[in-house]
Amino acid sequence: MPESSTWVLTDVASETYVHSFELHPEDVPGSPPGWWVTKETLHGGLRAGVDLIGVSNGALTFWIVPTRGMGIWKGQFHELDLGWESPLLGPVHPKFVNLSDRNGLGWLTGFDEWLCRCGLVSNGPPGDDNGTPLTLHGRIANLPAESVLIGVDPQPPHAIRVTGEVLEGALFLGRLRLRTTYETVPGSNCVTIHDEVTNLSAQPAEMQMLYHLNFGHPFLEAGSKIEVPFRELAPHTAHAAKALDAFDTYSGPVAGFAEEVYDFHPATDTEGRTVALLKNASESLGLAVRWNAAELPCFTVWKNTAALEDGYVTGLEPATNFPYFKGHERTQGRVRVLSPGEKWSATWSVAILDSAAAVASVAGEIAILRGRVVPIIHRQPVFGPAG
């Protein structure tokens, strides 16, 4: 096993906090040129006080936000932008976000990330859950990390890792800890996300996780397509049901577009592995999202092809559940219950495909997965409360 050289950037338990940080190939003897890791604190506007960690493997660069639950703000693969243009200028410090605002929709006032976690106690729309008001997509994206660690393997391929821990808990309100590790190898087109959620309470605890992974241009454009190998597909709403026949095709930006959402149970290989593909119109660019359905049995595609000014974006969302209200998801067995000390984990990845060959290769994988099932397409939102 390769040992990893580690640098602690934040660890509140030991009162460790590094204000700014840079790591380069010369800090890890034998590592290839071109990679770097940085840490800074942002100033001004809604980002005042936000910690930002930059990771570049030389080809793929991304910006992790410990202050926002270890989400990823934006990324770049060579010249390609990863993420989307939100109507706001983030990353937004949680101090400017009131989750309870607007009947529990306040989460939207902080949302501009490439990757934003929805959880841990709940995700989905706001509502009253047996007397407890839940807010849109939960608290985790607006909680700061308690620890942040950088690691680089001294042995080839010199994997770079950023690990962070975020605690969602309080007296009488449970105690879940997210531990996430982002891993990427110098020169690769891929980042792997390994998450553990541990129930630190002595009581059982419910848990939900949805990965809100979002893309705009250049991956999203008129004629872009999403390929999902699935066992079952249903529109999320009656509105989405109307556009079901074109569920896998994207339009260009349309002012006033009302979001369309589709829910999938993926087809997998015998190990539970599956992959979804977003590709541009000419099939020369794409994104492959790989996950394991044993960990993340649900997948949601969020089509929000609104005007560029208002957020032209699609979400590829592997999850423990569909983004219905938690109360409904509970009745469907899609809320995890963790025993005291129990750990939930998931490992998944995003790869950027910048050639027709790479896109075709993933499409080929998907074709094989499709061949393993007879897909069911529900024309109505059968996964939801009205179904």
Please give the residue ranges that form the binding site for its own copies (CB under 8 A).
10-13, 15-17, 19, 42-49, 67, 86-89, 94-96, 98-103, 105, 108-112, 131-133, 143-147, 167, 169-175, 200-203, 253, 255-256, 304, 306-311, 340
Residue type, 102: R
Interacting residues of 227 by C-beta distance below 8 A, sequence separation 6+: 248, 276, 277, 278, 279, 363, 366
How far apart are CB 370 and its own copies at their closest, in Å? 33
CB atoms within 10 A of CB 1: 5
φ/ψ (deg, to 5) at 2 = -70, 135
Residue 377's H or E segment, with its range, is strand 376-377
CB of 173 or CB of 360, closer to its own copies: 173
**Nearer to its own copies by C-beta: 248 or 310?**
310
Least Å distance, CB 85 to its own copies, is 10
Query: Residue 144 or residue 286: which is nearer to its own copies going by CB?
Result: 144
User: C-beta of 16: minimal distance to its own copies in Å?
Assistant: 8
Least distance from its own copies to the Cβ atom of residue 27, Å: 22
Residue 84 phi, psi dihedral angles, 5° rounding: -155, 165
Q: Are 284 and 359 in contact (CB under 8 A)?
A: yes
Q: Decide: helix, strand or coil at residue 136.
A: coil
Residue 115 or 306: which CB sits closer to its own copies? 306
d(CA 52, CA 25): 20
SS3 46: helix
Identify which of residues 44 and 333 has a Cβ nearer to its own copies in the complex: 44
Question: Among residues 143 and 159, whose Cβ is nearest to its own copies?
Answer: 143
Closest approach of its own copies to the CB of residue 2, in Å: 28
**Could you give the CA distance from residue 73 to residue 93 in angstroms, rounded to a whole number?**
12
Rounded to a whole number of angstroms, the minimum distance from the CB of residue 61 to its own copies is 15
Q: What angle do CA 75, 307, 78 make, to 5 degrees?
A: 20
